[in-house]
A and B are shown apart, each in its own frame.
Chain A
Amino acid sequence: MNRVERVLSLIDVINEQVGRLIAYLAVFMMFSVVYEVIARYVFNRPTIWSMEINQYLLCGYTALAGGYALLHKSHVNVDILHQRFGVRTRAFLNILTSFFFFLFIIVLIWKSGAMAWEAWEYNEHSETLLEAPLFPAKVVIPLGGLLILLQGLGKLIRDVRVLVTGIEEAQSAGGDFQRERKEK
């Protein structure tokens, strides 16, 4: 493996691991929601934390899994024109449109980073009974932005390589649909 290859697989590994880990948040959401219902109807004592904590978790779940979804080609696109082109043309178009991807993600990191910084500086808390600190719920957005940015860079490098060599990597050609076909 050369150096580029190592960097690419490192990016993949990072997002794969983060995604696999973050996926477990759904288990917590499920149990805490069920607990909330039981606490309300059986013990007659609704919790003040369940829904609010889950809201923050949803934010982390979504933000941090962005790169993981990109790794697995789960972000849907319109590929009606796309699939008609040759490998090289497709790589070229991906490189072209990646400008817009980076624009979006960089603005997101920049602005949500500023928002998280503000929450830290002013020690913001939620205006609920829980008075939860808002910094953790806000900082996951720029962090998730960095993860998806990283994966986007990896994708860009791969696309450039395809454009130069004209060969599509076998392992990168599997979105959620294709994989399912192989599984069955």
Chain B
Amino acid sequence: MSLTLMTVLLFAFLLALLALGLPLAFCFGSVAIIFMIWQWGPQALFTIATTAFGEWNNFILIAVPLFILMANLLERSGVAEELYEMMYRWMGPLRGGLAMGTVVICAIFAAMAGISAVATVTMGLIALPSMLKRGYDRLIAVGCVSAGGTLGILIPPSVIMILYASLTGTSVGKLFMGGVFPGILVAALFIAYIGIRCFIQPHLGPPVPKEERYSRAEKLASLKAVIAPIILILLVLGVIYFGVCTPTEAAGIGAFGSLVVLFINRRFTWTVFTDSLARTCRLSAMVMWILLGAKSFSHVYIALGASEMVYNLLTGLEINRWFFVIGMQLILFIMGFFMDPAGIIMICTPVFVPLIAKLGFDPIWFGILFTINMELGYITPPFGFNLFYMRALAGPMGVSMQDIYRSIVPFVILEILGLAIIMVLPQLALWLPQRMIGG
């Protein structure tokens, strides 16, 4: 049987199983096993065991449960409430100020948490009802929370980036630093959009009435809310940037710091703690099991020679190399409608990144583009995590699913614009990683 047909079969089989609703980890794993037996006989199956041992003992991946724990602890730490209170006092008087401030808080949270759920859930619980009460337009209020939440994976730390790094052999630290300016850029685009729209159409985000505004002293007092986040961000990202610690160690420090914040804010209870641990365990296990399946799958893909064939086939087309980059982004964007970002990264990196490297592009830069695209995956229906959260959180406040879908449209466009800017100006992503001392 020809290699081309074989490769097509490999992916067709995988997609068929995925479509039938079998969890990703088992789809990848079983397809890998079937092709191993078929091509090399049962003795090849030992790869499954060595892959499990190799991946699950991977030094870099210790950061995954630690960053997830950090995020889960922060979610209950009260930091979000304090930040919102501060932002309310300072930005409430501006047109659209609460929505812009929500994006700022999402960005701050993104710099502390490696997953997008934390900012989305906390802001959905705190900022959303507050904005709706103040007469903000539903679409702006819902949109800024679900879109702002996605910054969690682009602004470091980021679990998605750790996965990308472990699959491609790039440096976690460099990827993290690469996400800083693109993250700020995307956040700035969101803020500018909200600001301009609410300036032109004030009814979309009415300012807080004069008699309910706060005095300067009250404003200054609220600033203490940023102390804990700033320390945590400096600790986690600072130690990575200056090469003092590995990302794994930074993750441990961050989780520990969050626990301390929990104590300082008097939010620590045994239930909160064990609940965070349990959720961390389930989410990490899910990620690590997919990784086992996906690694086994990519071993088969490479051993078959499919990786090389695809490369030769595509470069044989003799078209501009940018065509590939844009084509890949398009594929990622479409996959984002149907799949979980962790799954997309597992399927696509083994196929895309070797090609990208051979075409002379920087894998770090491509990783940033990849991550921005995965942000889109969180907010594009029908399978977008943040939309699920919004349905759960905003639904009871009388926001329909249609409103939620409509609310993300401008933000999707802005995010694509951000993607295009990073594509044209790679230095935005690469400047900081080139300067960092560690990594």
Of the four ranges (under 10, 10 to 19, 20 to 34, 35 or more), the interface on chain B belongs to: 35 or more
Q: Counting CB contacts under 8 A, is B251 at the interface?
A: yes
A106 to chain B, nearest CB (A): 9
- Chain B 351-383: CB-based contact to A (< 8 A → 1; otherwise 0): 000000000000000000000000000000011
Docked-complex contact B30 and A80, CB < 8 angstroms: no
Interface of A is mostly: helix
Q: Counting CB contacts under 8 A, is A78 at the interface?
A: yes
CA distance A61 to B418 in the complex (A): 38
Docked-complex contact B392 and A77, CB < 8 angstroms: no
CA distance A8 to B29 in the complex (A): 26
- A-B pair number, CB within 8 angstroms: 209
The residue on A at minimum CB distance from B15 is A78
A5 to chain B, nearest CB (A): 25
**When the two chains form the complex, which single residue of B20, B49, B59, B382 contacts A93, counting CB atoms closer than 8 Å?**
B20
CA distance A103 to B42 in the complex (A): 13
The residue on A at minimum CB distance from B19 is A81
Of the candidates A30, A74, A104, A137, the one having the most CB atoms from chain B within 10 angstroms of its own CB is A104
A12 to chain B, nearest CB (A): 14
Stretch at the interface among B188-196, B282-290, B311-319: B282-290
Residues of A contacting B48 with CB < 8 Å?
107-108, 111-112
A38 to chain B, nearest CB (A): 10
**When the two chains form the complex, which single residue of B253, B283, B288, B338 contacts A33, counting CB atoms closer than 8 Å?**
B253
Residues of A contacting B255 with CB < 8 Å?
26, 30
Docked-complex contact B274 and A80, CB < 8 angstroms: no
The residue on B at minimum CB distance from A33 is B252
Chain A, range 163-184, C-beta contacts under 8 Å to B: 176-177, 180-181, 184
Docked-complex contact A79 and B53, CB < 8 angstroms: no
Q: Counting CB contacts under 8 A, is A160 at the interface?
A: no
CA distance A94 to B61 in the complex (A): 31
Q: Counting CB contacts under 8 A, is A37 at the interface?
A: yes
Residues of A contacting B45 with CB < 8 Å?
107, 110-111
**When the two chains form the complex, which single residue of A19, A36, A104, A177 contacts B282, counting CB atoms closer than 8 Å?**
A19
- Chain B 1-41: CB-based contact to A (< 8 A → 1; otherwise 0): 00000000000000001111111111101110110000000
Q: Given A55-B62, A58-B57, output 20 extra A-B contacts at Cβ < 8 Å.
A: A19-B282, A26-B277, A30-B252, A30-B259, A33-B249, A36-B252, A37-B245, A68-B281, A75-B25, A75-B286, A76-B286, A78-B18, A81-B21, A93-B20, A97-B21, A100-B17, A107-B48, A108-B48, A110-B45, A184-B393
Q: Can you offer 8 A-B residue contacts whose CB atoms are under 8 A?
A: A19-B281, A33-B248, A62-B285, A66-B289, A76-B343, A111-B45, A112-B48, A184-B393
A residues neighboring B (CB under 8 Å)? 19-20, 22-24, 26-27, 29-34, 36-37, 41, 51, 54-56, 58-59, 61-63, 65-66, 68-69, 72, 74-82, 90, 93-94, 96-97, 100-101, 103-105, 107-108, 110-112, 114-115, 137-138, 141, 176-177, 180-181, 184
Closest 6 CB pairs of A and B: A33-B252, A75-B23, A82-B21, A100-B30, A65-B285, A111-B49
